[in-house]
């Protein structure tokens, strides 16, 4: 059974970089699209981006200038870095697995982690 678990600081100061890690157990990082999604309080789901083939990425254009997704296959982890954060980046952040082949869908999710941007 595949399991995903987000980890990282729950509080980040404005203008700093938000860093989260998703640890994948029960499966390999190959083949699939490893994805970050967020939900600001009271708002809907927002797709942030994904990484696949151990390095190829696709990002939400509205966040692209600030986002980096990377993968560490030796630890079976992938990570999110979001720079120059503001209060608008306060959200529950989810990692998820996109099947990477048709029909594409998110079949496994982490439970989500709340990140608050505040001084």
Partner 1 sequence: DIQMTQSPSSLSASVGDRVTITCRASQSISTYVNWYQHKPGKAPKLLIYAASSLQGGVPSRFSGSRSGTDFTLTISSLQPEDFATYYCHQTYSSIRTFGQGTKVEIK
Using CB under 8 A as the criterion, which residues of the chain lie in contact with partner 1 when the complex forms?
35, 44-47, 50, 58-61, 94, 96, 98, 102-107, 109-112
Shortest distance (Å) from residue 112 CB to partner 1: 6
Q: Would you say 72 or 107 has its CB closer to partner 1? A: 107
Closer residue to partner 1, CB minimum distance, 44 or 74 = 44
Nearer to partner 1, 10 or 61 (CB): 61
Rounded to a whole number of angstroms, the minimum distance from the CB of residue 89 to partner 1 is 17
Three-state secondary structure call for residue 88: helix
Task: Rounding to the nearest 10 degrees, give the CA dihedral for residues 28, 50, 42, 83.
Answer: 110
CA-CA distance, 14 to 22, in Å (whole number)?
23
Tokens 């083939």, residue located: 53
Least gap, CB of 32 to partner 1 (angstroms): 13
Choice between 16 and 27, CB closer to partner 1: 27
Nearest to 79, CA basis, from 1, 11, 24? 24
Cα 102 to Cα 110: distance, rounded to the nearest angstrom: 22
In the complex, minimum distance from the CB of residue 111 to partner 1, in angstroms, rounded to a whole number: 6
Q: Identify the three-state secondary structure at position 54.
A: coil
């Amino acid at each position: 059974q595949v399991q995903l678990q987000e980890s990282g600081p729950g509080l980040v100061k404005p203008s700093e970089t938000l860093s989260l890690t998703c640890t994948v157990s029960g499966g390999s990082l190959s083949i699939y699209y490893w994805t970050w999604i967020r939900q600001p309080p009271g708002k809907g789901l927002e797709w942030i981006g994904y990484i696949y083939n151990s390095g190829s990425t696709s990002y939400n254009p509205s966040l692209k200038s600030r986002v980096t997704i990377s993968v560490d296959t030796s630890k079976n982890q992938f990570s999110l870095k979001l720079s120059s954060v503001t209060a608008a980046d306060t959200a529950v952040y989810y990692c998820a697995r996109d099947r990477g082949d048709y029909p594409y869908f998110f079949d496994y999710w982490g439970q989500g982690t709340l990140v608050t941007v505040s001084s």
